[in-house]
Every structure is written in structure tokens, then in C-alpha cells.
Amino acid sequence: MKSLLLYFEDEQASAERLAAAANLAAACIERHRFPDGELRLRLPPTLPSRVVMFRSLHQPNEKLIELLLSCQTARQLGAKHITLVAPYLAYMRQDMAFQPGEAISQHLVGGFLAQLVDAVITVDPHLHRVQSLKQALPVVQAMAISAAPLLSDVIATRHKAPLLIGPDEESQAWVSLAAARHQFDFGVCRKIRTGDHSVQITLPPVGVKGRHVVLIDDIASTGQTLAQAAKALSAAGSASVDVAVTHALFAPGALERIKNSGVQNIWSTDSIAHPSNVVNLAASLAEALGHDLS
């Protein structure tokens, strides 16, 4: 029996795109919320031995409980192997205790997910101080694909010779990958963050005057990182500033903040459904699933 892809109704569109690309049957997990906020989930009563659980983990807290309930239930209903496809993987940025007593969320959430599933496929996980996804999420198979080449392809259709800029050292991996795809020039800023909304950016020593600049990052949350970088680039004489991000988290106020900083276009992938989506990840995720399921 073939694998079955399970999803939740709020992600039906992207789950169905993946199911079509991977040639898998798909079924929705029914969800009922009790008046006190607790959840009741219902899965198809008979499951094949291999199940693909599709859940992008933005706004993750309740979704982690959903995964606990749905993956354990899937096992009881016959699943022997579960692959979690989480285009956005949450809690990866807190990879150390920056202050004494802080929870190291990356280890804890990674360990929690590893107890539920056998394999994980994700996109551009924020791995700063660890070398591989498997270190953060110790499952048998952990696969991270990058959207940087796909975002680079979009940029290539919009600008002839853009300058790609990563807004902080942590974006080096993505910006260099995106630049290599089309031999674009690139540079990486330095960033000092002193709070959720407090960010200082120093531009790299590359000429930005008159250049069409595209800021590339994995995540846009408050938008402060991109907004401060865009302001610095405009002040340095850039001809235009656009933004390309993998994960369009966009906390309340972020889009306005980025637009008000002089950014013209915002492009993102559909790892999180958002009006800025221009890259469809289904084919790349299906290819990764092909490796996982073969």
C-alpha cells in the first residue's frame, strides 16, 4: 500500500500541491475544538505502514500538541514509519542559553519531534551553531532543502545584475548559495540585536551605489532586520531594494515596517502561505520525499 499524506484543513492547499507532485493520496485530519480549548483529532481509521505528516510549524505551540496527538494515534492505527514534512521548522533559533536559565528550545523541540517521527524534511532550517539538521533533530533521516536557488531564479527574472545582500552573518549560507546560482555579486552585513525590535545593521564593504539590491534571509519575523538593512542600503545610494525570504512569518506590523523602509518588492516561498509567495516548494519537497520513501 502506498504512503498516505495527512494534513490539517488550514494547510489543505499546500498539502494538496505536495500530494499531487509526489503522487500520493492525501487525507485531512479532522479537528474539533472543545469549548475549553482542548482538541479532538480524528484520523482515517486504517492507515498504511508509511505516513507523511504535513505540518508547517509557524505559530507552533498548538501544532506541537497536534503532532503529539496525531503521530501517536497514527502509530496505533498502523503507521510504522512517519515522515514529518515541516516546510517551516519552529524553535530552531534558540540554540543556546543566551542568559543563565534559558531553555534551549532547539534541543528540546528537536528531541520532542524526534520521539514522534522517523524522518523529517524541512526547508532552510535556522541552524547557526550546529552543523547539521540531525544534530538539532535526531531522527533516522533528516533532510533540509534550500529555497535559495529557487528565490535566486525569481530574482534573475526581475533584475539583470542585482547585488544580493544578507542582512546578518547568519544569512551567509543562503545568500552565497543564491548568488552562486546566477553568478550575482553578494555581501553580508553585520547585525547587533539587543531586543525583539531593536536591531543595528552595518553594511559590508561592497559598493551599493546605483545597484539594484535584493536582501536575502531565511526568516522575516518583526521585519526589523530587513527594514534596518533596507534603510542603510538606501542611505548608501542603492538604486532599489527588494526582499527575498524563505519563510514569510511576518508578525503583525512587519510588512508595513518593511515597506516603509523603502523596499519595493517582497518575495517569499509558500513554506508559509502569504500574499508574497512566489516560489512553490511542492516539486522540491516531493523530490526529497522520493528519496525518503524509496
Binding interface with ligand R5P (CB under 6 A): 126, 167-168, 170-171, 199, 217-225
Which residue lies nearer to ligand R5P by CB, 11 or 168? Answer: 168
- Per-position DSSP letters for 240-289, written without gaps between them: EEEEEEEEE---TTHHHHHHHTT---EEEETTS--TTEEE--HHHHHHHH
Which residue lies nearer to ligand R5P by CB, 7 or 88? Answer: 88
CA distance 206 to 187: 7
Helix (H) or strand (E) holding 152: helix 148-158
CA distance 75 to 48: 10
Which residue lies nearer to ligand R5P by CB, 2 or 129? Answer: 129
Q: What 3-state class would DSSP assign to 7?
A: strand
Q: At closest approach, how far in Å is the CB of 93 from ligand R5P?
A: 6
Which residue lies nearer to ligand R5P by CB, 54 or 250? Answer: 250
Q: At closest approach, how far in Å is the CB of 253 from ligand R5P?
A: 11
Catalytic residue, chosen from 63, 80, 134, 191, is: 191
Q: At closest approach, how far in Å is the CB of 114 from ligand R5P?
A: 23
**From start to end of the chain, where are the E strands?**
4-8, 25-33, 39-42, 50-54, 81-86, 119-123, 141-145, 163-166, 185-188, 190-195, 198-202, 212-220, 240-248, 266-269, 277-279
CA distance 104 to 279: 32
Q: At closest approach, how far in Å is the CB of 250 from ligand R5P?
A: 8
Is 191 a residue of the active site? yes
Q: What 3-state class would DSSP assign to 185?
A: strand
Which residue lies nearer to ligand R5P by CB, 60 or 223? Answer: 223
Q: At closest approach, how far in Å is the CB of 221 from ligand R5P?
A: 3
CA distance 120 to 142: 5
Residues with catalytic annotation? Answer: 191
